Structure 1
Amino acid sequence: MIAALGIGAQWLAWRWKVPAIVLLLLSGVLIGPVTGVLDPRSVFGELLEPLIAVAVAMILFEGGLTLNLTRLKGAELAVKRLVFFGGPLVWLLATLSGHYIGGLTWASASVLGGILIVTGPTVIIPLLRQASLKRRPGEILRWEAILNDPVGALAAVLAFELAIVLNSSHSLSMTLGHMALGIAVASAVGLATAWGLIRAIKGGHIPEFLKVPVIIFFVMATYALPNALLHESGLLAVTVMGVVIGNSSLSSLDEIRRFKENITVLLVSGVFILLAAQVDLGTLATLTTREILFVAVVLLLVRPLAVFISLIKVDLPFGEKLMVGWIGPRGVVAVAIAGLFGARLVDIGIEDAALLSPLAFAIVAVTVLLHGFSLQPLARRFNLQSTDTKGLLIIGANPFTVALAEAIQSTGRPVLIADRNYNHLRQVRGRDIPTYYGEVLTEEAELTLEFSRFDSMVALTDNDDYNALLCMHYAPEFGHHQVYRFAPGGGAGGDHLEQTLGGRFFAKELDFEQATNYIREGWCVRLTRLSESYSFEDYRRDNPDARVISTYDEDGEVRVMHKDESFDAGDGETLLALVPDDTHRDKAERHARRQEQQPTDVSVDDGAHDDNDGDSRGNTTPGREPPEQG
């Protein structure tokens, strides 16, 4: 049931274009406190906390894998400020707000303040995936969320240990020494495990089929071992481990990263539903006005103020600073640590610590809802979204792709032509088509090109093997059903080649030689809108030789024609097709007909004035409304 709800919520969020975290939160609350269908503690018993702990460790490790240091170009100073200066500032401001506004004791307020440093990769990463932010603000939010997770956990641990010192006979110096030792051990364990795994994989000591299982085991071990010395220091260890492995040059790193990302989607879904299902709505209802005011202050004042102070003299536009200051949703780690430390503080006599869990969940719920629904509008307002309309990445510059790009751009969709041959790109220049010169399979291309602007890719070079390789490389990025290529020369690639090398055959097995020959012969890429008065059957009758490439419906959805597509199109759709340009032939035929009908003593012009009598492209049929064309 948990898996079905988690995956179902993610799928619905994708279909409805809403933040997935919001649906996960609602699903957990509905099956937990609202209906009572699921009580996680009665189902899992003592296994519940270890399960959530391991899931959080896996999520942080996967996040560390994605933190490539080379991607920090332009954002490095901002991330350092937010982690090393912004985090402690949030802790201080949240602690003061918790005590003076929320009415909490200093012990409870300081623990909660440390917890609120955490901005939650379990929430940020799905939001960034959906919002399609530009690279720099997206990377700032991603790095801050993942790096601040262990920082916030350790800050909460420090506050917790200090509370124990003040309520017991332990000395402060001994406690601080214990913490320093725990942090050092956690960092050393993370580095050592990462180094050992890298050496073992590069040396060929781990077979291919065991690489992911071995890494999963070491993630759990790396999390568990430091925790035996200092609570939650394992979060720091797995984050360090992930960052070190993610910045290594392992040949199988992409495969490992994709597998871990798939696991993380499932873990985030399950953990969020479990945590939401065990919320006590009765406790939330008991929150006083002071405590609700504290939640508002944390949301509207503490986070934005800390970010703006941290980013003073950092060269970022105001819109990006505002975006980073506002977007700070809390997630799984905040709720889990609040529940754990709150119960332990109550055990040593700090009664108001029972409010930590409901306060943390209230902050998580409010930030998830507000930030989830406001991220995209705010990004559009400050022009921080890569694009509202997803476009097409075309690899290969040639006469056909130039015509294709110009036609697609006329629909308002972004398009970019990339080629590793500078001479090929010369024919594109001066046509107002964005281009990229370089090898798109390199890391430099990943850093330079904003792939979030595109939802599909077509490999249309003159090299069939290279086209297949491009489809294999970009299939995980765009989806296997969203990468296309020319059919092998002669259009005789066969199903086996398509299935084994990836990528659908573009435009019903159109190959490079056919496409370029069509353009040389005067064919063009043309848009035609279908309507009730001009159906697809009418279009086919008027254009029997047309090679349909794709269709666009009124909502902007694109359907690319491929080998197995049994094609049909309805009213309101726009056809993009490669068609013969019959303009000159039509004019010559009309001129000849007029000459036959005119008396021999009447002079006849050359037909130049006749360009607009009907549709010069041959698509107007008597008795039917001419279609909209481009």
Structure 2
Amino acid sequence: MTHLADSVIMLLAALLLIGVLSTKFSSRFGMPSLVLFIAAGMILSRFIYYDNVALTQLAGIFALVIILFEGGMQTSFKDIKPVIGPSLVLSTLGVLVTTGVVGLAATYILGVSWEEGLLFGAIVGSTDAAAVFSVLGGKNIDKRLTSTLEAESGSNDPMAVFLTVSLIEWIESPETGIWSLMLSFVWEMAVGLLVGLLVGRIAVYLINKINLDSTGLYPVMTVGFAVLTYGSAALLHSSGLLAVYVMGLVLGNSEIVYHRTIMNFNHGFAWMMQIFMFILLGLLVFPQELTHIAFQGLLLSVILMIAARPVAVFLSLLFFKFTGAEKTLIAWAGLRGAVPIVLATYPLLSNLENGRLFFNVVFFVVLTSAVIQGTTISPLAARLKLTSGRTEAPTLMELVALGRTDAEFNHVSIQPDMPIAGMRISEMQLSDEILFTAIIRDDKIVTPHGYTVIEPGDVLYVLSPKSKREEMKALFRVPESG
């Protein structure tokens, strides 16, 4: 038994290290890392027999909770605010149109009933947050487009989950009424949104009020809140995934202590969950079964990429100000990933007649989407002249509570439109309790004096008591335009 445990631990260590190192390869070619993780699982499946669908689904849902939470925290509300409208239409109408077009094609190509064809369409109807975030992260694609894609990928999973579960229920119980399904959809989305907002506000308040003995406990606390958000929403029969994404948005766009520490922890934890999730999903696939559906899978993948997704995007964005080139890139960047594969386990657990067929075809569709679309997004953006020379702005403010003391240590990136930009420190009439301790300028440390001018681009370190937090923040608050 001890030997078996040691062997499993060594295997997990090898998988983690291979997964981390493979991200370097994937980023170089623009391919989502999920391809390499899944490949590792498929290779292992030749030596390890694994067919626990229930465990895989549980692990997949937990991983999606962490991934969506981390994606929400990374998303700037200021960036997505101008594109909330098109993103929501893409995540609702877009998923419906994709489901319809792919479902119709699947009915004839796979030789299944039209209800089952629609079920297949719903499973592959949503783009994947993990794949989109990993491919677009660090790329110089126009910010408006990346914000639209990221907001869509974070918010369209609940729609796909709802359609998948509803269609399975419909197949199993044909007497299910359409009106009850529509009311259920409204309830799931509305309550999920409210739960995410409520728990997010509670989390912000408690994180800033509680002085924990170890800084490492704050990231653990946020993960606990993320899981609590999903569980609370699920118990209320609402969308847990939507609630988690909204909760992450609230937390990521609020001023909380140890913001950067929490972000870094969640980023690493999300990567670890991706590695284990995709390896488990790869283990669940039997490669010899893929050869029998390769043609059908490739045909459906092509229809999804060059017909269903473009039709969905162009219809959804018909009344929004996007150019033809921008719509083309959004259509091509609709990557499929973890969500469709996790949703493909639902028919398996429901013991539907074509459950295994759907899982294998979905798997094939996801792999081809990741390989073909993932590696060509950046070249296509450059060809369409939709790239920019922007660089990611650093975190504006980082609040760090100093243990049990009443003090906070902050570092602030100075922006040109901040009130103190261009001012001498002596001109600011600072409280005696607010102390500028250091300035980082052009990779050099500048010691602050009364005659020192604060320049745009500086990173300013400030020590102040918690009671002076609002006064300190007022120094850096950017005036609202208009």
TM-score, normalization by structure 1: 0.57
1:253 paired to 2:253: no
Say whether the 8 Å CA contact 1:165–1:172 is kept in structure 2: no
Give 1:60 deviation, angstroms.
0.9
Unaligned runs of 5+ residues in structure 2 are 1-10, 395-412, 422-435, 449-459, 462-482
Q: Distance in 2 between matches of 1:309 and 1:109?
A: 22
Letter in 2 for 1:138: T
- The equivalent residue for 1:236 is 242
Does the CA contact (< 8 Å) of 1:162 and 1:175 recur in 2?
Answer: no
Cα deviation, residue 111, structure 1 = 1.9
- 1:223 is aligned to 2:230: yes
Of the three residues 404, 428, 444, the one matched with 1:485 is 444
CA pair 297-441 structure 1, distance change in 2 beyond 3 A: farther
Tell me whether 243-252 or 134-143 shows the greater mean CA deviation. 243-252
After TM superposition, the structure 1 stretch with the greater mean CA deviation from structure 2, 109-118 or 31-40, is 31-40
2:336/2:369 contact within 8 Å kept: yes
Shift of 1:278: 2.2
Q: Does 1:67 align with 2:75?
A: yes
Work out which of the residue numbers 122, 127, 131 in structure 2 matches 1:119. 127
Other-structure match for 2:218: 211
> Looking at CA atoms only, which structure, 1 or 2, has the larger radius of gyration?
1
- In structure 2, how many angstroms separate the alpha carbons of the residues matched to 1:441 and 1:259? 32
For 1:195, the equivalent position in structure 2 comes to 201
The answer for the alignment partner of 1:330 in structure 2 is 336
Q: CA deviation at 1:108?
A: 1.9
Deviation at 1:47, TM superposition (A): 4.3
Per-residue deviation, 1:31: 4.8
Alpha carbons 2:141, 2:388 under 8 Å: kept? yes
Between the aligned partners of 2:253 and 2:141, the Cα distance in structure 1 is 23
Quick one: distance in 1 between partners of 2:102 and 2:184? 25
Q: Partners in 2 of 1:382 and 1:183 — Cα distance?
A: 35
The count of residues paired between Structure 1 and Structure 2 equals 407
Please tell me whether the aligned partners of residues 65 and 226 of structure 2 are also in contact (alpha carbons under 8 angstroms). yes
CA drift at 1:219? 1.8
Q: State the match for 2:167 in structure 1.
A: 159
| Matching residue's letter, 1:67 | T
Name the residue aligned to 1:534. none
* 1:309 aligned partner, one-letter code: L
Asked if the contact 1:25/1:273 (under 8 Å) is kept, the reply is no
Q: Classify 1:180/1:314 alpha carbon distance in 2 versus 1 (closer, same or farther; 3 Å).
A: closer
Deviation per CA, 1:587-630: give whole Å up to 9, x if none.
xxxxxxxxxxxxxxxxxxxxxxxxxxxxxxxxxxxxxxxxxxxx
User: Partner of 1:36: helix, strand, or coil?
Assistant: coil
Is the contact between residue 41 and residue 278 of structure 2 (CA under 8 Å) also seen in structure 1? Answer: no
Cα distance in 2, alignment partners of residues 27 and 37 from structure 1: 16
1:58 shift after superposition: 0.8
- Between 262-271 and 4-13, report the one with greater CA deviation: 4-13
Aligned to 1:458: none
| 5+ residue gaps, structure 1 | 394-418, 421-435, 443-462, 471-482, 490-500, 503-630
> Do the aligned partners of residues 289 and 126 (structure 1) sit closer, same or farther apart at CA in structure 2, a change above 3 Å counting?
closer
Per-residue deviation, 1:310:
1.4
Distance 1:23 1:37, change over 3 A: farther
Q: 2:438 aligns with which of 462, 465, 474?
A: 465
Q: Say if 1:189 and 1:237, in contact at 8 Å, map to a contact too.
A: yes
Is the Cα–Cα contact under 8 Å of residues 438 and 446 in structure 2 kept in the other structure?
no
What amino acid is aligned across from residue 338 of structure 1 in structure 2?
A: A
- Aligned pair partner of 2:156 in 148, 152, 167: 148
* Structure with the larger RCO, 1 or 2 (CA within 8 Å, 6+ apart): 2
Contact 2:127 2:335 survives alignment (8 Å): yes
Deviation at 1:185, TM superposition (A): 4.4
Deviations 1:430-464 (A, max 9, x none): xxxxxx8445999xxxxxxxxxxxxxxxxxxxx99
Which range moves more in the overlay, 51-60 or 182-191? 182-191
Change (3 A) 1:30 1:96: same
Partners in 1 of 2:116 and 2:293 — Cα distance? Answer: 15
Q: For residue 303 of structure 1, what is the amino acid of its counterpart?
A: R
What does residue 18 of structure 2 align with? 8
Cα pair distance change 1:46/1:239, threshold 3 Å:
same
Change (3 A) 1:301 1:39: same
Q: Which amino acid aligns with 2:220?
A: P
Deviation at 1:317, TM superposition (A): 2.9
Identical columns (%): 23
Change beyond 3 A, Cα 1:47–1:392 = closer
Cα 1:99–1:327, aligned 2, differ >3 Å: closer, same or farther? same
User: 1: distance between equivalents of 2:200 and 2:328?
Assistant: 36
Aligned pair 1:367/2:369, yes or no?
Answer: yes
Residue of structure 2 in register with 1:131 after alignment: 139
Report the Cα distance in structure 1 between the residues aligned to 2:36 and 2:132, rounded to whole angstroms.
Answer: 17
Answer whether contact 1:123 1:331 (CA < 8 A) is retained: yes
Question: 1:183, 1:312 → 2: CA distance?
Answer: 24
Equivalent-residue separation in structure 2 for 1:50 and 1:183 (angstroms): 22
Give the residue type in structure 2 aligned to 1:217: G
Q: AA paired with 1:334?
A: P
